[in-house]
Structure 1
Protein backbone atom coordinates (compact mmCIF):
# COMPACT_ATOMS: atom_id res chain seq x y z
CA UNK A 1 0.00 0.00 0.00
CA UNK A 2 1.21 3.48 -0.86
CA UNK A 3 1.16 6.20 1.80
CA UNK A 4 -0.97 8.44 -0.43
CA UNK A 5 -3.80 5.88 -0.32
CA UNK A 6 -4.51 7.06 3.22
CA UNK A 7 -5.00 10.61 1.90
CA UNK A 8 -8.55 11.64 1.03
CA UNK A 9 -9.08 12.56 -2.64
CA UNK A 10 -11.47 15.49 -2.39
CA UNK A 11 -10.34 18.17 -4.85
CA UNK A 12 -12.77 17.43 -7.66
CA UNK A 13 -10.07 18.00 -10.31
CA UNK A 14 -6.75 16.23 -10.90
CA UNK A 15 -4.73 19.44 -10.59
CA UNK A 16 -6.28 20.28 -7.23
CA UNK A 17 -5.83 16.70 -6.00
CA UNK A 18 -2.18 16.91 -7.05
CA UNK A 19 -1.71 20.10 -5.02
CA UNK A 20 -3.33 18.32 -2.08
CA UNK A 21 -0.64 15.62 -2.00
CA UNK A 22 1.09 17.87 0.52
CA UNK A 23 -1.11 17.61 3.60
CA UNK A 24 -1.19 20.20 6.37
CA UNK A 25 0.51 22.95 4.40
CA UNK A 26 -0.35 25.52 7.06
CA UNK A 27 1.20 23.53 9.90
CA UNK A 28 4.74 23.18 11.23
CA UNK A 29 4.93 19.63 9.88
CA UNK A 30 3.40 19.30 6.42
CA UNK A 31 3.45 15.78 4.97
CA UNK A 32 4.56 15.15 1.38
CA UNK A 33 2.88 12.03 0.01
CA UNK A 34 4.99 11.94 -3.17
CA UNK A 35 8.61 11.73 -1.96
CA UNK A 36 9.86 9.63 -4.91
CA UNK A 37 9.27 9.39 -8.63
CA UNK A 38 7.85 5.87 -8.21
CA UNK A 39 5.23 7.29 -5.83
CA UNK A 40 4.37 10.00 -8.36
CA UNK A 41 3.83 7.40 -11.09
CA UNK A 42 1.72 5.23 -8.77
CA UNK A 43 -0.36 8.24 -7.69
CA UNK A 44 -1.04 9.13 -11.33
CA UNK A 45 -2.48 5.65 -11.79
CA UNK A 46 -4.35 5.83 -8.48
CA UNK A 47 -6.43 8.77 -9.67
CA UNK A 48 -6.74 7.50 -13.25
CA UNK A 49 -4.31 9.67 -15.21
CA UNK A 50 -2.36 6.66 -16.47
CA UNK A 51 -3.26 2.99 -16.33
CA UNK A 52 -1.69 0.63 -13.83
CA UNK A 53 0.57 -1.14 -16.32
CA UNK A 54 1.94 2.17 -17.60
CA UNK A 55 2.51 3.37 -14.03
CA UNK A 56 4.46 0.22 -13.21
CA UNK A 57 6.71 0.73 -16.23
CA UNK A 58 7.14 4.43 -15.50
CA UNK A 59 7.90 3.68 -11.85
CA UNK A 60 11.00 1.71 -12.86
CA UNK A 61 12.67 4.92 -14.02
CA UNK A 62 15.23 6.59 -11.80
CA UNK A 63 13.98 10.09 -12.57
CA UNK A 64 14.94 12.64 -9.90
CA UNK A 65 14.88 15.53 -12.41
CA UNK A 66 11.36 14.60 -13.48
CA UNK A 67 10.26 14.45 -9.85
CA UNK A 68 11.70 17.92 -9.24
CA UNK A 69 9.81 19.26 -12.26
CA UNK A 70 6.57 17.62 -11.13
CA UNK A 71 6.89 18.97 -7.59
CA UNK A 72 7.66 22.45 -8.93
CA UNK A 73 4.46 22.18 -10.99
CA UNK A 74 2.61 21.03 -7.87
CA UNK A 75 3.68 24.12 -5.93
CA UNK A 76 2.77 26.40 -8.83
CA UNK A 77 -0.68 24.80 -9.11
CA UNK A 78 -1.18 25.21 -5.38
CA UNK A 79 -0.14 28.86 -5.40
CA UNK A 80 -2.39 29.69 -8.36
CA UNK A 81 -5.53 27.98 -7.10
CA UNK A 82 -4.98 28.92 -3.46
CA UNK A 83 -4.92 32.57 -4.54
CA UNK A 84 -8.03 32.10 -6.68
CA UNK A 85 -9.81 30.34 -3.81
CA UNK A 86 -9.09 33.32 -1.57
CA UNK A 87 -10.15 35.90 -4.13
CA UNK A 88 -6.60 37.15 -4.76
CA UNK A 89 -4.74 37.53 -8.07
CA UNK A 90 -2.79 34.42 -9.03
CA UNK A 91 1.00 34.89 -8.74
CA UNK A 92 2.49 35.66 -12.14
CA UNK A 93 5.51 33.37 -11.69
CA UNK A 94 3.31 30.43 -10.68
CA UNK A 95 0.98 31.03 -13.63
CA UNK A 96 3.98 31.09 -15.95
CA UNK A 97 5.22 27.78 -14.51
CA UNK A 98 1.82 26.16 -15.14
CA UNK A 99 1.75 27.58 -18.69
CA UNK A 100 5.26 26.32 -19.42
CA UNK A 101 4.49 22.80 -18.19
CA UNK A 102 1.23 22.79 -20.18
CA UNK A 103 3.17 23.70 -23.33
CA UNK A 104 5.63 20.87 -22.71
CA UNK A 105 2.82 18.40 -22.08
CA UNK A 106 0.77 19.26 -25.16
CA UNK A 107 3.90 19.20 -27.32
CA UNK A 108 4.29 15.54 -26.33
CA UNK A 109 0.61 14.66 -26.75
CA UNK A 110 -1.68 13.83 -29.63
CA UNK A 111 -5.24 14.98 -30.13
CA UNK A 112 -7.62 12.04 -30.36
CA UNK A 113 -11.36 11.41 -30.00
CA UNK A 114 -12.42 10.92 -26.38
CA UNK A 115 -15.37 8.67 -27.19
CA UNK A 116 -17.90 11.29 -26.09
CA UNK A 117 -18.01 13.40 -29.24
CA UNK A 118 -15.01 15.61 -28.50
CA UNK A 119 -11.23 15.47 -28.73
CA UNK A 120 -8.73 15.32 -25.88
CA UNK A 121 -4.99 15.28 -25.34
CA UNK A 122 -3.68 11.72 -25.08
CA UNK A 123 -0.27 10.60 -23.90
CA UNK A 124 1.65 7.47 -24.81
CA UNK A 125 5.07 5.96 -24.31
CA UNK A 126 7.37 5.61 -21.33
CA UNK A 127 8.79 9.10 -20.97
CA UNK A 128 9.01 9.71 -17.19
CA UNK A 129 7.32 13.10 -17.65
CA UNK A 130 4.17 11.28 -18.69
CA UNK A 131 3.31 10.98 -14.98
CA UNK A 132 2.75 14.75 -14.70
CA UNK A 133 1.73 15.76 -18.24
CA UNK A 134 -2.02 15.16 -17.67
CA UNK A 135 -1.89 17.22 -14.48
CA UNK A 136 -0.61 20.27 -16.34
CA UNK A 137 -3.36 19.84 -18.93
CA UNK A 138 -6.02 19.48 -16.24
CA UNK A 139 -4.82 22.59 -14.39
CA UNK A 140 -4.97 24.74 -17.53
CA UNK A 141 -8.35 23.28 -18.47
CA UNK A 142 -9.68 24.38 -15.09
CA UNK A 143 -8.05 27.81 -15.38
CA UNK A 144 -9.45 28.46 -18.84
CA UNK A 145 -12.83 26.75 -18.49
CA UNK A 146 -13.64 27.15 -14.82
CA UNK A 147 -15.69 27.19 -12.74
CA UNK A 148 -13.13 29.32 -10.91
CA UNK A 149 -15.80 30.81 -8.66
CA UNK A 150 -16.27 27.38 -7.09
CA UNK A 151 -12.64 26.87 -6.09
CA UNK A 152 -12.24 26.99 -2.33
CA UNK A 153 -9.60 26.54 0.34
CA UNK A 154 -10.46 24.37 3.35
CA UNK A 155 -11.58 26.63 6.21
CA UNK A 156 -9.93 24.49 8.89
CA UNK A 157 -8.05 26.56 11.44
CA UNK A 158 -5.53 23.75 11.95
CA UNK A 159 -3.67 24.53 8.72
CA UNK A 160 -5.11 22.07 6.20
CA UNK A 161 -5.19 24.48 3.19
CA UNK A 162 -6.74 21.75 1.01
CA UNK A 163 -8.11 22.92 -2.34
CA UNK A 164 -11.43 21.75 -3.75
CA UNK A 165 -14.23 22.50 -6.17
CA UNK A 166 -17.40 23.32 -4.26
CA UNK A 167 -20.12 21.52 -6.21
CA UNK A 168 -22.81 21.98 -3.56
CA UNK A 169 -26.02 23.62 -4.79
CA UNK A 170 -25.78 26.63 -2.52
CA UNK A 171 -21.96 26.81 -2.58
CA UNK A 172 -21.83 26.31 1.17
CA UNK A 173 -19.08 23.69 1.44
CA UNK A 174 -16.32 24.91 3.76
CA UNK A 175 -14.20 21.85 4.52
CA UNK A 176 -12.02 19.54 2.48
CA UNK A 177 -13.95 16.62 3.99
CA UNK A 178 -16.72 16.51 6.58
CA UNK A 179 -15.18 13.39 8.11
CA UNK A 180 -11.88 15.16 8.68
CA UNK A 181 -11.65 18.92 9.02
CA UNK A 182 -15.45 19.29 9.21
CA UNK A 183 -15.64 17.05 12.28
CA UNK A 184 -12.65 18.80 13.86
CA UNK A 185 -14.34 22.17 13.42
CA UNK A 186 -17.60 20.85 14.90
CA UNK A 187 -15.78 19.46 17.95
CA UNK A 188 -14.01 22.81 18.48
CA UNK A 189 -17.31 24.72 18.22
CA UNK A 190 -18.92 22.42 20.78
CA UNK A 191 -15.95 22.80 23.13
CA UNK A 192 -16.12 26.59 22.81
CA UNK A 193 -19.86 26.60 23.57
CA UNK A 194 -19.28 24.45 26.65
CA UNK A 195 -16.55 26.81 27.91
CA UNK A 196 -18.77 29.82 27.32
CA UNK A 197 -21.58 28.27 29.38
CA UNK A 198 -19.36 27.79 32.42
Structure 2
Protein backbone atom coordinates (compact mmCIF):
# COMPACT_ATOMS: atom_id res chain seq x y z
CA UNK A 1 0.00 0.00 0.00
CA UNK A 2 1.30 3.46 -0.87
CA UNK A 3 0.42 6.60 1.02
CA UNK A 4 1.29 10.17 0.12
CA UNK A 5 2.33 11.17 3.61
CA UNK A 6 3.02 9.30 6.82
CA UNK A 7 3.05 11.68 9.79
CA UNK A 8 4.21 8.99 12.23
CA UNK A 9 7.58 8.82 10.49
CA UNK A 10 10.18 11.56 10.05
CA UNK A 11 10.18 13.24 6.66
CA UNK A 12 13.75 13.04 5.43
CA UNK A 13 15.39 14.52 2.39
CA UNK A 14 17.05 12.17 -0.07
CA UNK A 15 20.83 12.48 0.06
CA UNK A 16 22.06 14.89 -2.59
CA UNK A 17 25.39 13.11 -2.96
CA UNK A 18 23.76 9.94 -4.30
CA UNK A 19 23.52 9.19 -8.01
CA UNK A 20 20.60 10.86 -9.78
CA UNK A 21 18.96 7.51 -10.56
CA UNK A 22 19.09 6.51 -6.88
CA UNK A 23 17.68 9.86 -5.76
CA UNK A 24 14.83 9.34 -8.20
CA UNK A 25 14.17 5.80 -6.94
CA UNK A 26 14.22 7.12 -3.38
CA UNK A 27 11.23 9.36 -4.04
CA UNK A 28 9.38 6.36 -2.60
CA UNK A 29 10.13 6.24 1.12
CA UNK A 30 9.67 3.26 3.45
CA UNK A 31 9.78 0.74 0.61
CA UNK A 32 10.17 -2.21 2.98
CA UNK A 33 7.36 -1.09 5.30
CA UNK A 34 3.72 -2.09 5.09
CA UNK A 35 2.84 1.41 3.92
CA UNK A 36 5.05 3.30 1.52
CA UNK A 37 5.28 7.07 1.22
CA UNK A 38 4.94 8.53 -2.27
CA UNK A 39 7.02 11.68 -2.63
CA UNK A 40 5.81 12.31 -6.19
CA UNK A 41 2.01 12.19 -5.83
CA UNK A 42 1.24 14.14 -9.02
CA UNK A 43 2.59 15.37 -12.33
CA UNK A 44 3.13 18.78 -10.72
CA UNK A 45 5.21 17.20 -7.94
CA UNK A 46 7.26 15.39 -10.58
CA UNK A 47 8.09 18.65 -12.33
CA UNK A 48 8.95 20.29 -9.01
CA UNK A 49 11.35 17.46 -8.23
CA UNK A 50 13.16 17.99 -11.52
CA UNK A 51 13.21 21.74 -10.98
CA UNK A 52 14.81 21.25 -7.55
CA UNK A 53 17.35 18.83 -9.08
CA UNK A 54 18.48 21.70 -11.34
CA UNK A 55 19.03 19.53 -14.39
CA UNK A 56 17.25 21.63 -16.97
CA UNK A 57 17.06 25.12 -18.32
CA UNK A 58 14.16 26.81 -16.52
CA UNK A 59 12.53 27.70 -19.83
CA UNK A 60 12.14 24.04 -20.78
CA UNK A 61 10.43 23.18 -17.50
CA UNK A 62 8.09 26.17 -17.77
CA UNK A 63 7.12 25.18 -21.28
CA UNK A 64 6.51 21.57 -20.28
CA UNK A 65 4.45 22.65 -17.27
CA UNK A 66 2.24 24.82 -19.47
CA UNK A 67 1.86 22.01 -22.00
CA UNK A 68 0.80 19.55 -19.30
CA UNK A 69 -1.62 22.01 -17.73
CA UNK A 70 -3.28 22.42 -21.11
CA UNK A 71 -3.47 18.68 -21.74
CA UNK A 72 -4.26 16.66 -18.58
CA UNK A 73 -4.18 13.36 -20.48
CA UNK A 74 -0.66 14.10 -21.74
CA UNK A 75 0.37 15.07 -18.22
CA UNK A 76 -1.02 11.86 -16.74
CA UNK A 77 0.66 9.73 -19.40
CA UNK A 78 3.97 11.47 -18.76
CA UNK A 79 3.57 11.06 -15.03
CA UNK A 80 2.81 7.34 -15.28
CA UNK A 81 5.78 6.86 -17.61
CA UNK A 82 8.02 8.47 -14.99
CA UNK A 83 6.70 6.24 -12.20
CA UNK A 84 7.12 3.17 -14.39
CA UNK A 85 10.72 4.16 -15.08
CA UNK A 86 11.36 4.68 -11.38
CA UNK A 87 10.17 1.18 -10.46
CA UNK A 88 12.05 -0.34 -13.40
CA UNK A 89 15.29 1.24 -12.21
CA UNK A 90 14.60 0.09 -8.66
CA UNK A 91 14.21 -3.53 -9.76
CA UNK A 92 17.21 -3.38 -12.09
CA UNK A 93 19.50 -1.98 -9.38
CA UNK A 94 18.30 -4.61 -6.93
CA UNK A 95 19.08 -7.31 -9.49
CA UNK A 96 22.55 -5.94 -10.18
CA UNK A 97 23.35 -5.72 -6.49
CA UNK A 98 22.38 -9.36 -5.94
CA UNK A 99 24.07 -10.70 -9.10
CA UNK A 100 20.72 -11.65 -10.61
CA UNK A 101 19.62 -11.13 -14.19
CA UNK A 102 17.10 -8.28 -14.52
CA UNK A 103 13.71 -8.93 -16.02
CA UNK A 104 13.66 -8.65 -19.81
CA UNK A 105 10.73 -6.26 -19.60
CA UNK A 106 12.78 -3.91 -17.41
CA UNK A 107 15.70 -3.92 -19.82
CA UNK A 108 13.29 -3.37 -22.68
CA UNK A 109 11.78 -0.26 -21.08
CA UNK A 110 15.18 1.24 -20.33
CA UNK A 111 16.27 0.58 -23.92
CA UNK A 112 13.08 2.07 -25.31
CA UNK A 113 13.48 5.27 -23.32
CA UNK A 114 17.15 5.51 -24.28
CA UNK A 115 16.33 5.07 -27.96
CA UNK A 116 13.50 7.57 -27.67
CA UNK A 117 15.96 10.25 -26.63
CA UNK A 118 15.07 13.24 -28.82
CA UNK A 119 17.76 14.50 -31.19
CA UNK A 120 16.85 18.04 -30.12
CA UNK A 121 18.44 17.67 -26.67
CA UNK A 122 21.22 20.15 -26.04
CA UNK A 123 23.71 20.87 -23.29
CA UNK A 124 24.24 24.45 -22.14
CA UNK A 125 26.21 26.22 -19.43
CA UNK A 126 24.58 28.82 -17.21
CA UNK A 127 26.50 30.45 -14.37
CA UNK A 128 29.06 27.68 -14.49
CA UNK A 129 26.47 24.89 -14.32
CA UNK A 130 25.73 22.41 -17.11
CA UNK A 131 22.03 22.13 -17.94
CA UNK A 132 19.90 20.16 -20.39
CA UNK A 133 17.61 21.88 -22.86
CA UNK A 134 15.60 20.83 -25.91
CA UNK A 135 13.95 22.41 -28.91
CA UNK A 136 10.22 22.87 -29.05
CA UNK A 137 9.64 19.77 -31.18
CA UNK A 138 11.09 17.29 -28.70
CA UNK A 139 8.96 14.84 -26.75
CA UNK A 140 8.73 16.54 -23.36
CA UNK A 141 8.59 13.51 -21.09
CA UNK A 142 11.44 11.78 -22.95
CA UNK A 143 13.60 14.86 -22.47
CA UNK A 144 12.59 15.07 -18.82
CA UNK A 145 13.49 11.47 -18.04
CA UNK A 146 16.61 11.16 -20.18
CA UNK A 147 19.10 12.31 -17.47
CA UNK A 148 17.64 9.69 -15.11
CA UNK A 149 17.90 6.99 -17.78
CA UNK A 150 21.52 7.95 -18.50
CA UNK A 151 22.33 7.92 -14.78
CA UNK A 152 20.72 4.50 -14.30
CA UNK A 153 22.52 2.94 -17.26
CA UNK A 154 25.86 4.41 -16.18
CA UNK A 155 25.32 2.96 -12.71
CA UNK A 156 24.23 -0.44 -14.02
CA UNK A 157 27.17 -0.77 -16.42
CA UNK A 158 29.81 0.84 -14.20
CA UNK A 159 31.96 -0.36 -11.32
CA UNK A 160 29.37 0.58 -8.68
CA UNK A 161 26.60 -1.69 -9.88
CA UNK A 162 27.39 -4.35 -7.27
CA UNK A 163 27.82 -1.75 -4.53
CA UNK A 164 24.18 -0.71 -4.54
CA UNK A 165 22.50 -1.70 -1.29
CA UNK A 166 19.18 -1.18 0.43
CA UNK A 167 18.84 0.37 3.87
CA UNK A 168 18.27 -2.29 6.53
CA UNK A 169 16.52 -0.01 9.03
CA UNK A 170 14.00 -2.12 10.95
CA UNK A 171 11.20 0.38 10.33
CA UNK A 172 11.36 -0.50 6.64
CA UNK A 173 13.19 2.51 5.18
CA UNK A 174 14.34 0.66 2.08
CA UNK A 175 16.19 3.54 0.44
CA UNK A 176 18.97 2.56 -1.95
CA UNK A 177 22.54 3.80 -1.68
CA UNK A 178 26.00 3.09 -3.08
CA UNK A 179 28.24 1.53 -0.44
CA UNK A 180 31.61 3.28 -0.76
CA UNK A 181 32.91 1.96 2.56
CA UNK A 182 36.25 0.17 2.51
CA UNK A 183 34.84 -2.95 4.16
CA UNK A 184 31.68 -2.91 2.05
CA UNK A 185 29.62 -3.38 5.21
CA UNK A 186 27.44 -0.27 5.26
CA UNK A 187 23.88 -1.15 6.26
CA UNK A 188 21.99 2.15 6.41
CA UNK A 189 21.15 4.91 3.98
CA UNK A 190 22.40 7.48 6.50
CA UNK A 191 24.43 7.07 9.65
CA UNK A 192 22.88 10.30 10.93
CA UNK A 193 19.36 8.93 10.62
CA UNK A 194 18.69 5.22 10.32
CA UNK A 195 22.18 4.28 11.54
CA UNK A 196 21.99 6.31 14.73
CA UNK A 197 18.53 4.98 15.46
CA UNK A 198 19.75 1.39 15.09
CA UNK A 199 22.73 2.08 17.37
CA UNK A 200 20.43 3.65 19.97
CA UNK A 201 18.12 0.64 19.76
CA UNK A 202 21.00 -1.81 20.30
CA UNK A 203 22.24 0.25 23.24
CA UNK A 204 18.77 0.20 24.77
CA UNK A 205 18.50 -3.58 24.40
CA UNK A 206 21.94 -4.16 25.92
CA UNK A 207 21.13 -1.84 28.83
CA UNK A 208 17.77 -3.52 29.40
CA UNK A 209 19.35 -6.97 29.38
CA UNK A 210 22.08 -5.82 31.76
CA UNK A 211 19.53 -4.36 34.17
CA UNK A 212 17.50 -7.55 34.01
The answer on 1:150 being equivalent to 2:163 is yes
Q: Does 2:146 correspond to 1:133?
A: yes
The question of whether the paired residues in 2 share the 8 Å contact of 1:27 and 1:159 is answered with: yes
Is the radius of gyration larger for structure 1 or structure 2?
A: 2
**2:173 is matched with which residue: 160, 168, 192?**
160
Gaps of 5+ in 1: 115-119
Inter-partner Cα distance in structure 1 for 2:165 and 2:205: 25
8 A contact 1:151–1:163 mirrored in 2: yes
Q: Does 1:92 align with 2:95?
A: no
Q: CA deviation at 1:90?
A: 2.4
User: Matched residue pairs, number?
Assistant: 189
Equivalent position of 1:78 in the other structure: 90
| 1:176 equivalent in structure 2 | 189
Deviates more, 1:7-16 or 1:184-193: 7-16
Give a deviation string over 1:52-111, Cα, whole Å, max 9, x none: 443343333231100000000000001111222344332332222222222222x44547
SS in 2 for 1:31: strand
Could you say which residue in structure 1 is the equivalent of 2:46?
40
Match of 1:12 among 8, 14, 18: 18
Normalising by the residue count of structure 2, what TM-score does the alignment of the two structures yield? Answer: 0.76
Please list the CA deviations of residues 13-39 of structure 1 after superposition, one character each: whole Å capped at 9, or x if unmatched: 111110000000111221111111121
Q: 1:53 to 1:174 in 2, by over 3 A?
A: farther
C-alpha RMSD over aligned residues = 2.8
Residue in structure 2 matching 1:101, options 96, 113, 123? 113
Matched with 2:134 is 124
Question: Which secondary structure state, in structure 1, belongs to the residue aligned with residue 134 of structure 2?
Answer: coil
